[in-house]
Structure 1
Amino acid sequence: MRNLKTVFASLFITSLTLFTSCDPDDNGETIDIPEVLEYNNIQGFFETNGVQDQDFTLDAVTGGNIIGEDGTIITFPANAFVDGSNNPVTGIVDVAIKEIFKPSEMILSNKPTNALSFSNQNTFLLSEGETEVKISQNGNTLQLANGINYQISVPSAGGLDYEMLPFEGTTSDAEGIVWDPTSDVGVTSSGMQYVTAPASYIYDIFNTGWSNCDKFYNYPGAQTTNYINLSNSPNASETAIFLIFEENNLPAVVKFSTTYANGIQSYIDMLPEGLAVTYVAITVENNQQYLAMEDVTISDEEELTLNFEVKSTQEILDALSILD
């Protein structure tokens, strides 16, 4: 990740016309036209700016492959789907997928790498790729037939790692998503396939919805809790807080959602002391968007107050892209 001084220096020119474009008036003079947002809360921001569906069709009887724009390959067997009454489905079905690999996509889509451990404790992951799969026919949601699974292949950025696992995601507005390795989502790490040409992980999925090829982040040193003071946020109740770092080319994007007296805190005693990270905060208020970004080295029990600045949608996208 580049230093944020470099990030904001590169955005200086566009920052001169915050949220505006310039059109001439009747006298030939330029006037500022404010950006009109399609939403008035942070969830609307995520829905509008997050990764959107890629749409495909598939013959339910024969099955086949779906190949996403970023290299995800989803392979369905023949006769894989049933309707709401558990009847086998024939004919053409609609397949909608989302692929998320980059920190910017995880933030904009509200799909962080927060997770539950095998002992049901809060933790977080390093990700090789998040995938959503939805199946429908004539607007009606379909499910996998009993005993049927499909395969997902995701390009690998980190190389062979025997700690990689498949995870299933449960979504919510507050947390975005939480990844669970104990659900009936796929195979164990011993069954996770890794191929070298092209470098990819292949794993089995037994449910539609969100899945993830990840590993638990393990840190041998001291761990602590951090606090983000939102007393100067333009809209504290609609502020999303993320912590971002990378290891071995794999991103971790951790969302804070636990409130405390002055704002939002991390999981208790889960942040590695001495780790260099970037904090990102986004909020929406009165048809304006605000962004705060700060490079930080995690310190013991630290409370941080971030600096929020008015930003256009494009400025937010540009700033977040530097994290990728």
Structure 2
Amino acid sequence: MKIEKQKFTNLNNSKVVSRILKNVMGLFVLVLFASCIDTNEQEVFDPQPDGEALAARFDDNRVNAVQEFTLDTSTGGVITGTQGTTVTFQPNSFGLNGTPVTGNVTVQLLEIYDKASMLLKNKSTLGMRANGDKEALKSAGEFFINAVQGTNDLELLEMAAVQSRPVDFADLEGGMQIFRSGGIDDDCDGGIDDDCDWVEADEDNDGEKDNAQIRDGQGADGEYATYNYDIGDFGWTNLDKWYSFTGAKTEIFVDVPEGYNADNCAVYLSYDGEPTTLARMDTWNTSLELFTEHYGLIPVGLEVHIIMVTEIDGQLNYAIQGTTIVENHIEVITSLAPITQAALETLINNLP
């Protein structure tokens, strides 16, 4: 290639050259300044994990899943949820300030039977013992039951009977107890937005923990069984038993990407082989900057999946990692990916 050289002479004092140099330098400064502005704007406006948006998504998922039924207070009656849960109310059992109300009331029911619903409604199966220790539970169903008349939340004046959806005999779990959403937190009021851990219930106030009864049934598709129990108050209840494991146990830590913490994401521990055992990693170690469970009772050798979720710019983002628990386990999550809620539900419910 031929290169042409141009020679400039006697231009040191040229006004044209001086003007050109000034313009070039001015343009350089302007570009540099604009570059700094762009960099700063990029840092400010980069999409960030939004914990408030994630919490709002959980709340919206609960509200959108509520089914409503109309009952006459004088007769009571039975409601049946879309997943097969039934609740039977006695006559004149709806009250306000201890007095039975008359006319029609609206009964609300929310049913949760799978891990995806537990996670995306933030109702994991983390139970709290009487001494404050927290352990995982195996659930046969979580339920929110309430009644309103106009703008008034009503009271349950007589016991109501709850029956779970039909269960195959091969899937029955004996020893299921009744748990309530509660604890020492002031927000543990049993309302639909209650995020508290599960505690053993005493629905009839006899000083004994309540167990569910198993009843046989006969349907068009053959024989089945149901779990049955009574409730004395509206709010959240859960059919559960404590997850039991003999052998060594340990703590588990989850190292999440830079910029993530307990304020802007949620991390869950899904137990393989247990379709309804999902515990939230509810402790953020501020010194280590790691998520953990605070009770140190994760079985060594247990196969699990770690699920992390957040919301970024209106979009769910997630990570799912399978692992086998070792002593003092540290699981490292390096990145998340965007996903739709429906796709995430499918992934979670297809976990082993």
The two structures have a TM-score, normalised by structure 2, of 0.73
Match of 1:177? 196
Q: Does the CA-based 8 Å contact 2:58-2:120 persist in structure 1?
A: yes
- The residue identity in structure 2 corresponding to 1:78 is P
Local SS of the residue matching 2:317? strand
- Aligned mates of 2:216, 2:122 — CA distance in 1: 31
2:241 maps to amino acid: K
SS in 1 for 2:347: helix
2:140 aligned with 1:128? yes
SS of the residue aligned with 2:101? coil
* 1:63 Cα deviation after fit: 0.8
The residue number in structure 2 matching 1:312 is: 339
Alpha-carbon RMSD? 2.7
Q: Would you say 1:259 and 2:271 are equivalent positions?
A: no
Q: Which residue pairs with 2:58 in the alignment?
A: 46
Comparing both chains, which one has the higher relative contact order based on Cα–Cα distances under 8 Å and sequence gaps of 6 or more? Answer: 1
Q: Which one has the bigger strand percentage?
A: 1
Residue 152 of structure 1 is matched in structure 2 by 162
Q: After the TM superposition, which residues 54-73 of structure 1 pair with which residues of structure 2 at under 5 Å, given as runs?
A: 54-73=67-86
How far is 1:286 from its partner?
A: 3.3
SS in 2 for 1:238: coil
Write out the 4+ residue segments of structure 1 that deviate beyond 6 Å after TM superposition. Answer: 171-175
* 2:245 alignment partner in structure 1: 219
Distance 1:292 1:323, change over 3 A: same
8 A contact 1:128–1:250 mirrored in 2: no
* One-letter identity of the residue aligned with 2:345: L
For 2:193 and 2:261, locate their aligned partners in 1 and report how far apart those are by CA, in whole Å: 15
Which ranges of structure 1 fall in alignment gaps of 5 or more residues? 1-37
CA distance in 1, matches of 2:338, 2:146: 34
Q: Between Structure 1 and Structure 2, which shows a larger proportion of helix residues? A: 2
- Superposed counterparts of 1:245-324, under 5 Å: 245-247=271-273, 250-260=275-285, 261-313=288-340, 314-323=342-351
Number of aligned residue pairs: give it: 283
Distance 1:222 1:106, change over 3 A: same
CA contact (8 A) 1:56 1:96 kept: yes
CA distance in 1, matches of 2:124, 2:115: 8
Aligned 8 A contact 2:126 2:198 in 1? yes
Letter in 2 for 1:318: T
Structure 1 residues 153-209: Cα deviation after superposition (integer angstroms, max 9, x where no partner): 113356444421111113779993311114447886786321122310100111100
After TM superposition, give the deviation of residue 123 of structure 1 in Å: 1.2
CA distance in 2, matches of 1:89, 1:174: 25
2:270 partner letter: I
Considering only CA atoms, is the larger Rg found in Structure 1 or Structure 2? 2
Q: Which runs of 5+ in 2 are unaligned?
A: 1-49, 218-223
Aligned letter for 2:247? Answer: G
Secondary structure of the structure 2 residue equivalent to 1:318: helix
TM-score by length of 1: 0.79
